[in-house]
Amino acid sequence: MRTPIIAGNWKMNGSLALLEDFGHAFSEAALPESIEVVILPPFPYLANADEAFEASLVQLGAQTVNPEEQGAFTGEVSASMLKEFGVRFVLVGHSERRTLFREDDSAVLARARAALNSGLTPILCVGETLEEREAGRTESIVLGQIDAVLGELDSQQRRELVIAYEPVWAIGTGRTATPEQAQQVHAAIRQHLHAYEHELGNGVRLLYGGSMKADNAAQLLAQPDIDGGLIGGASLKTDDFLAICHAAG
Ligand code: PEP
């Protein structure tokens, strides 16, 4: 069976004090052992986060990575650097990166490759805008974003990925996809993965992201093709994030 993942994307939020709160809350509270929990703080907090979560089951993730190994890329961070700080997962293709930082499919692929080459697990984010949904293009957009990466990887690399379906209209808006809407897209993604290779469809974990909260997580996570959540806003509150972890466990 697929182990659920609950991942908290702090975006450009948080502080050393928040990290300390999370460190305490997550080392003291019993987390369900049947799930993986990942926190993705901003880069400067990674070293402290590695320490803060040492006594807990929480794993570390990063919010982006530069495709290059090293060199004159002011302000950027490479996969091998992330690895040195205990990072296990990295987001690629988050909609904020695609729009605000103009990362297109080839930039997303380059980042996924760099992560894989350093032994990090890419969490590939895909999702349609409201306009695309209303035009009936949800599946073609989402599957196209997936193919742009998976089509260029080998079979072993594809199996390493985690995919997060995040409808852009649901991110940070408080407007969540209904469990039925989310399940429909997740099922289409899984079917598409089966077409690559049967085992791929069975094994790849598909997370839902987009205003997942303590009070809607259980229903979303109960869907057969939803294997966890990528959480933004609600990952900044220890109680809410813990409640979501328990809804997955
Ligand atoms: C996200 O940024 O990936 C996200 C899902 O944010 P939120 O939960 O705030 O919608």
The model's pLDDT over 188-207, given as tens digits with 9 standing for 90+, comes to 999 999 999 999 999 999 99
CA distance 127 to 130: 10
Q: What is the pLDDT of residues 130-189, one digit of tens each?
A: 999 999 999 999 999 999 999 999 999 999 999 999 999 999 998 999 999 999 999 999
- Whether the CB of 230 sits within 6 Å of ligand 1: yes
Instruction: For residue 212, report the phi and psi dihedrals to the nearest 5 degrees.
Output: -75, 135
Q: What is the pLDDT of residue 30?
A: 76
Question: For residue 27, what pLDDT is reported?
Answer: 83
Ligand 1 atom index nearest CA of 170 = 10
| Per-residue pLDDT reduced to its tens digit, 21-62 | 999 998 877 788 899 999 999 999 999 999 999 888 899 999
Query: What are the φ and ψ backbone dihedral angles of 237, each rounded to 5 degrees?
Result: -120, 120
For helices 238-248 and 16-28, the axis angle rounded to 10 degrees is 40
151 lines ligand 1 (CB under 6 A): no
pLDDT recorded at residue 177: 93
CATH number, domain of 155, equals: 3.20.20.70
Which pair of tokens denotes residue 60? 């570390």
The alpha carbon of 212 and the centre of ligand 1 are apart by a number of angstroms equal to 7
Instruction: List all residues 6 or more positions away from 153 whose beta carbon is below 8 Å from its beta carbon.
Output: 112, 113, 116, 161
**Helices (H), ranges, the chain:** 16-28, 46-52, 79-84, 95-100, 105-117, 130-134, 138-150, 155-160, 179-196, 198-203, 217-221, 238-248
Domain membership of residue 9 as a residue range: 5-248
Average per-residue pLDDT in the chain? 96
Task: Specify the amino acid at residue 178.
Answer: T
The total domain count for the chain is: 1
Cα distances from 218 to residues 2, 36, 149, 224, in angstroms, run: 17, 16, 30, 12
Please give the share of the chain, as a percent, with pLDDT higher than 90.
94
pLDDT at position 122 over 90? yes
Residue 8 to residues 13, 40, 136, 228, Cα–Cα distance (Å) = 11, 6, 30, 11
